[in-house]
Chain A
Amino acid sequence: MPQITLDQALQKHYARNQRWGFTWAIWVAVLWGAWYVPGTALWFEKPFSDIATDNQAMMLGATAVMTWVHAIAVLMFLLLWNLMLGKVKDYGRTLFRFRKISKWYALASLCGGPMAIFGSYMAMGFIGPVFAAITSLFYPVVGAIIARLWYKEKISSRAAVGMVIIIIGGSVIYAPGLFGEVESSNPNIWLGYLGGLMSAIGWGAEGAVAARAMDVSDPDTGIQCRFTFEVLFWGVIILPMIALFSDLPIADFIVATVTESGAMLWIVLASACHAYSYTAFYKSFSLIGVSRGQAIGNLYAIFALIFIAAFTLQLPEWYFIVGLVFVVAGTFVMFSEPAESVIQLRDHEATT
């Protein structure tokens, strides 16, 4: 005889789904934050450390090479993940349906790869890293707006308030560093603003587009499709174009990168973090929605500083604590939503 009623069992079922959704989203933040350690260390290894920081063209070329090699390593980690889950065949079946399904993952990879990453590097290069970090924090707003307008994702007032509090928390952590970074005399400053906008729109749009594809496909195989396209975009289109239309030694740089053990070690570590952070990212969308998944993912701002402090033994400034209080409060506001709020994430009528 069952010991609980149907209503109690239902409550447990929905609460378990909600908890899994938030757990995946928190893993996004932890692994994304951890990524900053190898992601930053990589720039101190040859061949990247040999590039003069004022050589913008070479920096961008190196970034493109780095991103491609990184994407290949991510794809290998995702293949391992799906091998363990027994989903490799499903990956092939999903990828094969390009015209109807996997084209959305191709679009997601364009938004999150070349658009957002390139935009973020533009923001870093033409204004500064703090500005780039702050503009990236706004991507959940873009994702939530697109998801709402495109396929009517429900955004409860509590989820919206939680999102705003988390963004304020992230901004508190980084904003003081912004003073002195933005120089109005810089004639190329508009390129930095454009880059910041590209990163927020790119990452926000990626979540919304990927969630659209995951309506009919699996998140684990979806993320592998997405990185397959990213590897192709960089390796077949962007890098050959740069090599053809510029004087940058792209081929030499690729060889120099993959034969440098120090650089490859950091790329492999960064890729492991990135692969499983992105897997958790996509898995959270299908359980708690794009707006909640992306907002909780924004906690990476906290984890990045914690991991960097742990490895450099340099404590963050006092205002880190203020930001921490905000983002933890925002997370609790979101998680305090009733479990029933994630049963039906869209406003479609339950038509028969």
Chain B
Amino acid sequence: MKVHKKGYLLIELSKTDSIWDYELVNRALKEYRRHGSIWINTFRVALDELAAAGLINSTDKKLDDGSHVGPEKVLFKYHLTEFGRTRMRETGLL
């Protein structure tokens, strides 16, 4: 059984030092065979929630030129925090 979507985002983040949100969202879209702006936004909101809770933080930001999410949107490069890693261990995701 596949892991739930927020868990998947965390697992992918744990495999790398940091990753741009659009790369991570593209991976998730492929994994769950989803497409369209609604799902892109759903995954981006999940990343916002993870950042607000302190499980991940952004190490870099840039403006989208329209080739990823949409013009004038902010793209974030995310990194799993130590707290995020701890929470993943506690919840069986690591």
Contact = CB atoms under 8 A, between A and B. Distances in A.
A216 B88 contact: yes
B4 A218 contact: yes
A221 B52 contact: no
B61 A100 contact: no
Interface string A208-225: 000000111111010000
A55 interface: no
B51 A344 contact: yes
Contacts of B34: 86
Interface size class on chain B is: 35 or more
Interface residues of A, number: 41
Contacts of B63: 2, 4-6, 9
Contacts of B72: 2-4, 9, 12
A341 B44 CA distance: 19
B52 A99 contact: no
A17 B51 CA distance: 12
Contacts of A171: none
Interface in B1-40: 1-7, 10, 34, 39
Contacts of B73: 9, 13
A101 interface: yes
A96 B42 CA distance: 22
Given A2-B71, A10-B61, A86-B34, 19 more contacts: A2-B63, A2-B65, A5-B63, A6-B62, A9-B73, A9-B74, A93-B2, A96-B1, A100-B92, A100-B93, A214-B49, A215-B50, A343-B51, A343-B52, A345-B53, A346-B53, A348-B83, A350-B57, A352-B79
Interface of B: 1-7, 10, 34, 39, 42, 46, 48-55, 57, 61-63, 65, 71-74, 79, 81-83, 87-88, 90-93
